[in-house]
């Protein structure tokens, strides 16, 4: 019963405040050791060489890439 209520609460909150799953790869190969994943609450800037966003935990993160970034954004 407790897990059902928790899942219901998360669905209600995610409807009003969506979250995104961001996967960043620093090279052209997906799935290797340099890939990082974040749960994003809000994007401040999305450019080919620069990302600035706020995570679910409240941290503000900036990622820069001189040659460009490879990233995927999925809505959760």
pLDDT in tens, 49-72: 899 999 988 899 999 987 778 889
Kindly list the distances between the CA atom of residue 15 and the CA atoms of 7, 11, 27, 45, in Å, as whole numbers in the listed order: 12, 6, 33, 23
Residue 59 falls inside a structural domain: yes
Residue 4 falls inside a structural domain: no
**Domain residue limits at 28:** 18-75
Instruction: Note the pLDDT tens digit of each residue in 14-38.
Output: 788 888 999 988 777 777 777 889 9
Q: Are 62 and 52 in contact (CB under 8 A)?
A: yes
What is this structure's pTM? 0.74
Residue 28 falls inside a structural domain: yes
Q: What is the pLDDT of residue 42?
A: 93
For the chain, how long is the longest CA-to-CA vector? 50
Residue 57 falls inside a structural domain: yes
Residue 53 falls inside a structural domain: yes
Residue 12 falls inside a structural domain: no
* Number of domains making up the chain: 1
Residue 5 falls inside a structural domain: no
Q: What is the pLDDT of residue 32?
A: 77
Residue 1 falls inside a structural domain: no
């Amino acid at each position: 019963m407790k897990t059902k209520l928790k899942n219901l609460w998360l669905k209600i909150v995610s409807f009003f405040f969506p979250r995104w799953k961001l996967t960043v790869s620093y090279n052209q190969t997906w799935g290797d050791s340099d890939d990082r994943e974040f749960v994003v609450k809000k994007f401040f800037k999305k450019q080919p060489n620069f990302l600035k966003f706020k995570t679910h935990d409240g941290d503000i993160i900036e990622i820069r890439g001189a040659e460009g970034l490879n990233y995927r954004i999925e809505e959760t």
